[in-house]
């Protein structure tokens, strides 16, 4: 695939900066603030002129931002879509205006694949599988049932859909595991705590494991577990996703068992894709990110190395 536009080299042709309209999901998590920082640090003058817009987790705000970027005739639009569906119309408007679109972090569900040029981000299905594989390994020798509650991410978002799918795919092969409750905590600490409180009440002590779609919700849930007089990390084992510093601190304190890494530091790679797309160079359709899994016993040694 290739985008349309300028002349190559470091700038937008004839020494002009590349104007990028970037629509961010929001500031819902530690992961997100690290991602915003990384994007802002990479898309800097004189090479780039960044128009940054925060959608506060609302698709309607993102659609407005995209339309405003189109009206301003930016060179490239990059965005991290809050949810997967509902993008066809606005993306068609961008295409009609000849503005290439780069997806970052989250995917969209569109029937016309030509509506975006490339997508850089993690493999969320694999992250869900990794969380489940950790759980299976950690449950060696345990008899069932293992009762799991799931704190899901934002309803309709790619990471919520995919992490749930990957996790289920792996645990379905082992009859000990049962997901007894699932609800969205919208990727925030406050909601994670609130929903976990409701889970604890409803299950009346019958929860063995929490699978949280991100670390922030797990950290919120840890508070709820402690306030209920239970021990996070042992009474309820917890696995979450992202690998933010807060998760490493919780693991070091013995309150979180494992975190599956999801790297938010995409800024430099995004900048390179934008350069290439703007210059009309070929870019891969999909760029993924290398990531690992970290457990409680690795936390103290790994914490000083964490970059987010
Ligand atoms: O899209 C990535 C997810 O969004 C991160 O896992 C989560 O923390 C963020 O809000």
Rounded to the nearest whole angstrom, what is the distance from the C-alpha of residue 215 to the centroid of ligand 1? 9
Beta bridge partners of 60: none
Best mutation site among 23, 104, 105, 154 for ligand 1 pocket (most ligand atoms within 8 Å of CB)? 105
Q: What is the mean pLDDT of residues 43-70?
A: 98
Residue range 114-143, pLDDT digits in tens: 999 999 999 999 999 999 999 999 999 999
Q: What is the pLDDT of residue 205?
A: 82
pLDDT of 4 > 50? The answer is: no
The answer to whether the CB of 241 is under 6 A from ligand 1 is yes
User: What whole-number distance in Å separates Cα of residue 224 and Cα of residue 236?
Assistant: 11
Q: Which atom of ligand 1 is nearest to the CA of 26?
A: 10
pLDDT at 1 over 70: no
Which atom of ligand 1 is closest in space to residue 215's alpha carbon?
8
Give the least confident one: 9-18, 37-46, 165-174: 9-18
- Torsion angle in degrees (nearest 10) through CA of 263, 266, 268, 269: 100
Kindly state the DSSP code that residue 296 receives in the 8-state scheme. G
Taking all residues of the chain, what is their mean pLDDT, rounded to a whole number? 95
Model confidence band, residue 217 (pLDDT cutoffs 50, 70, 90): very high
Q: How far is the CA of 29 from the centre of ligand 1 (A)?
A: 7
Confidence of residue 268 (pLDDT cuts 50, 70, 90): very high
Q: How far is the CA of 16 from the centre of ligand 1 (A)?
A: 34
Instruction: Name residues whose C-beta falls within 8 Å of residue 304's C-beta, 6 or more positions apart in sequence.
Output: none
pLDDT band of residue 290 (cuts 50, 70, 90) is confident
Length of the chain: 308
Global pTM exceeds 0.90: yes
Region 52-76 average pLDDT: 98
Q: What is the DSSP letter of 258?
A: E
**Rounded Cα distance, 230 and 237, in Å:** 11
pLDDT classification of 15: cutoffs 50, 70, 90: confident
Looking at residue 14, what is its pLDDT? 62
Nearest to 231 by CA among 253, 214, 213, 248: 253
CB of 127 shorter than 6 A to ligand 1: no
Say what the ipTM of the complex is: 0.99
Mean pLDDT of 84-99: 98
C-alpha to C-alpha distance for 187 and 24, rounded to whole angstroms: 15
Beta bridge partner(s), residue 48: 18
Look at the block and give the residue holding tokens 């964490």: 306
């Amino acid at each position: 695939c290739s985008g349309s536009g300028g002349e190559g080299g470091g700038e937008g042709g004839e020494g002009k900066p590349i104007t990028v309209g970037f629509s961010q999901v929001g500031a819902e998590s530690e992961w997100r603030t690290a991602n915003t920082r990384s994007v802002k640090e990479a898309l800097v003058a004189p090479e780039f002129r960044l128009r940054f817009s925060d959608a506060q987790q609302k698709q309607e705000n993102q659609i407005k931002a995209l339309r405003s970027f189109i009206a301003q005739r930016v060179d490239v639009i990059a965005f991290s879509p809050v949810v997967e569906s509902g993008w066809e119309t606005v993306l068609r408007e961008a295409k009609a205006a000849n503005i290439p679109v780069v997806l970052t972090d989250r995917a969209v569900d569109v029937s016309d694949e030509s509506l975006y040029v490339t997508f850089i981000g993690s493999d969320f299905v694999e992250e869900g599988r990794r969380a489940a594989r950790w759980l299976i390994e950690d449950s060696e020798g345990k008899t069932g049932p293992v009762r799991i509650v799931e704190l899901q991410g934002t309803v309709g978002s790619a990471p919520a859909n995919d992490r749930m799918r990957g996790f289920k795919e792996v645990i379905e092969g082992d009859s000990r595991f049962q997901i007894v409750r699932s609800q969205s905590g919208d990727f925030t600490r406050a909601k994670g705590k609130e929903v976990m409180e409701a889970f604890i009440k409803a299950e009346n002590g019958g929860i063995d494991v929490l699978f949280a779609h991100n670390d922030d919700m797990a950290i919120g849930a840890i508070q709820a577990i402690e306030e209920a007089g239970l021990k996070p990390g042992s009474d309820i084992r917890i696995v979450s996703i992202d690998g933010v510093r807060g998760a490493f601190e919780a693991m070091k304190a013995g309150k979180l068992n494992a975190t599956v890494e999801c790297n938010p530091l995409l800024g430099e790679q995004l900048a390179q894709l934008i350069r290439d797309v703007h210059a009309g160079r070929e870019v891969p359709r999909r760029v993924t990110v290398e990531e690992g899994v970290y457990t409680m016993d690795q936390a103290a040694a790994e914490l000083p190395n964490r970059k987010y």
